[in-house]
Amino acid sequence: MFKGYMNSLILSVTLYGFLFFFILPACAATELCPIEDLSETNGIRRLALIVGVGQYKSTRIDNLKGPPNDAQQMYDLLTGSKGPGYGFPKENVCLLVDEAATTEKVKEMFERLLVQGARKGKNDVAVFYYAGHGSQMKDADGDEADQCDETFLLHDARTGSGERRIGDLVDDDFHQMLSRLHEKTQHAVVILDSCNSGTATRGPSGLVARWQDPDDPTMACPRVDASEAREESSWKPQAMPNLVAFTAASDGTSALEMGGHGIFTTALLDVLTQGTDAPLTYAQVFRQVPPLVAAASYQIPYFQGDLNRAVFDATGKRRPLGLDVVAIDENMIELSGIPLLGMGKGAELRIYDGAVTGSAARDPSKAKATVIVTNPSRINPKAIIDKVAKDAPAIKRGDLAVMVRPSDEVLKIKVRLRPEAEEGGIRADRAEKLKNLIESNEEAAMFVDLVKEGDSFELSMDGGKLVLRGPENNIRNQYDSDSAVPDSLWQHARQKALRKLQGEGGADFTDHQTLQVQLIPASKQSNEVKGEWKPAPPNSEQVIPLNYRWNIRVTLSADAGMPLLIGGLILSSDGSSFGVPCDGRAVPLQPGKTVTFDAKPDRRACRFGETFVGAAPPDTQDHVIVFGTQEANPVPWHLMTETARTRSARGRGGPLYKTLDRYMRPGTRGQTAGIGLEEVDETTWTLSSLTMRVVQP
């Protein structure tokens, strides 16, 4: 009877999977484990155990909205016939969600599917994915440098009593499970969207940490400074050097979810669903995921293992995840498919021929048209044709729509004014004044939504000062004047929008690879400098000793194939931004050559110059993004830090600049659709980024 039920359920998922997983509540338990007859492709078994726990049996554990959604999307990614198609047969994949994901069941399926299913010497691929709560407890056997064992909380964790007591799944036990798997295959992958360090959050509807305090308060771990904790990974399986492990947050930071999705998993899927010609490597994923995570939170993902391997050992071209065109009516088209991440009103998509594969679906010159979503229905969204490429074939049913920029709502920030009745609340009359200031500010009105709950930013009082707290609940700004608040808020939102940018390199360029970016010490240093500058590899976090002066250096890969115009943005945690070249000059760079931004201060064009100083507060992560565009499509990147009015008055860029200008103004995309634009931004472009952190020597 059980087998018959499972077959019926699988058939239902096949026929009605979209409605089941995206319309019905995510709290329903799901178990898809048809693993009786494992199959192979080209002599290799691809096996996966996917676990998502949002509903917990114990009432002492906070429930989560996101893990079931994340687990389902990971299942769709691995098994889907459309999109990237990583080639995992459904009979080789076990999905356990909520009540189905008990401790015993997860251990059983790990052993049956992954350990017993993988064949020694056959290069079988085994993937374990977990989304849910994490925790810590005092290290019991002395094998942890931070004196803490990390744990996972499965559905029935912390229930029962006595000998039947079910505790957390401790990393020591998980390590033994992995060791048995490692004996069978050198191609194991572990992805964990949970955290092992708690950070305060402000409400059940806003940003939520996937963290629970230890079950026994006496087993709580010693608190470790974030800068020290960052040097340690969540767990280090040194005996399994080939194991690839992605974790949502390193020690000292929290894995967060927002809007019913894990921020880390969302960023990971953004990268894994792109179209590529050559196999996507774990190293490429490692370079692309952190900037996307940083757009939404301050958690710091961690990657380890043999990162030079192809993702899930999949080779060949990857078709991007997109929506199918199912109807065309003059300037309107109707789309169908699994909802794309970032989908919503104002989302921008490119239309490609339905047979497109590989990097061609990231090449603007190969697109038929650009469309803007006007009705973001989850079943059949509708979009208006914004621009049509010159001499392009007509759009037809079966064409592919690929998202290039997310919806307006994704770019906005939500801000809560803490009520007077709460500790640290703002007086009612002052709150009303702040509300009026924000709503009357042209930029803030576009980028900021004032909310009562579901906050990601919050204005409150701290020691008599008005402060702004970020999603991670740390103070980002202190204000001496209420009039400074609107500009500060839209600047934070602007940074979010900029961090969401992804290049469209096609076969010409690869984000975070074509451009090699480093921070280097300036030629002259002040006498106040202490500590040693240790250079980081390109596109990696640079630690800067306090008061050290530094510049940005960029090298264009020798195989780039063409020169690029180079520009960049420095994004500070307090919301402020700075663009280079600071005077808007063109900076062409030939393949294999290097340029350093070090212009001297100029009162008229470059007030502060292009040499920067490592300033307090220490251990705060800031970001540098460097862009490369073709010479025919220039972008004055320094204007991207300005208001829309200033950009319109001073902007002298190409079609890409005009497109990005609309992207930076929520509510403006698609306004000129159907009346004919004179230019199409059809040249490829790319970007690279790195983080920097000031330390006190």
Entry pTM = 0.83
pLDDT digits (tens, 9 = 90+) for 437-446: 999 999 999 9
Q: What are 578's two structure tokens? A: 């700075």
pLDDT value of residue 221:
62
Report the percent of the chain where pLDDT is more than 90. Answer: 54
Residue 147 zone, left/alpha/beta (φ > 0; ψ -120 to 50; rest): left
Nearest to 323 by CA among 401, 255, 271: 401
Q: For residue 264, how many C-alpha atoms fall within 13 Å in the half-sphere facing its CB? A: 30
Who's near 473: CB < 8 A, 6+ residues apart? 199, 200, 201, 202
pLDDT value of residue 18:
36
Point out which residues pair with 187 in neighbouring strands: 125
Angle, CA of 640, 645 and 648, to the nearest 5°: 70
pLDDT value of residue 667:
80
User: DSSP code of 338?
Assistant: S
How far is Cα 128 from Cα 115, in angstroms, rounded to an integer?
11
Top pLDDT among 644 and 511 is at 511
pLDDT digits (tens, 9 = 90+) for 18-58: 333 333 344 456 778 887 789 998 899 999 999 999 999 99
pLDDT value of residue 140:
58
Does pLDDT of 652 surpass 80? Answer: no
Lowest mean pLDDT among 348-362, 533-547, 603-617: 603-617
Cβ distance 654 to 679 under 8 Å?
yes
Would you state the torsion angle of the CA atoms of residues 495, 499, 500, 505, taken in this order, to the nearest 10 degrees? Answer: 140
How far is Cα 359 from Cα 619, in angstroms, rounded to an integer?
38
Does pLDDT of 159 surpass 90? Answer: yes
Q: What is the mean pLDDT of residues 594-614?
A: 88
Coil, strand or helix at 497 = helix
pLDDT value of residue 84:
65
Task: Encode burial over 42-52: b for 16+ CB neighbours within 10 A, e otherwise.
Answer: eebbbbbbbbb
Lowest mean pLDDT among 261-265, 475-479, 520-524, 604-608: 604-608
What confidence category does residue 583 fall into, taking pLDDT thresholds of 50, 70 and 90?
A: confident
Report the percent of the chain where pLDDT is more than 70. Answer: 86
Give burial (CB, 10 Å; 0-12/13-18/19+) of 586: exposed
Does pLDDT of 144 surpass 80? Answer: no
pLDDT digits (tens, 9 = 90+) for 326-385: 999 988 999 998 878 788 999 999 999 999 988 899 999 999 999 999 999 878 999 999
Lowest mean pLDDT among 55-69, 131-145, 591-605: 131-145
Q: What are 396's two structure tokens? A: 């037809």
Mean of per-residue pLDDT scores for the chain: 85
Which stretches of 437-514 are assigned E, i.e. beta strand?
448-451, 457-462, 465-469, 475-479
pLDDT value of residue 222:
55
pLDDT digits (tens, 9 = 90+) for 103-113: 999 999 999 99
pLDDT value of residue 218:
54
pLDDT value of residue 338:
80
pLDDT value of residue 26:
40
pLDDT digits (tens, 9 = 90+) for 182-218: 999 999 999 999 876 444 343 434 567 777 777 765 5
- Beta strands 323-329 and 588-589, pairing class: unpaired
pLDDT value of residue 81:
64
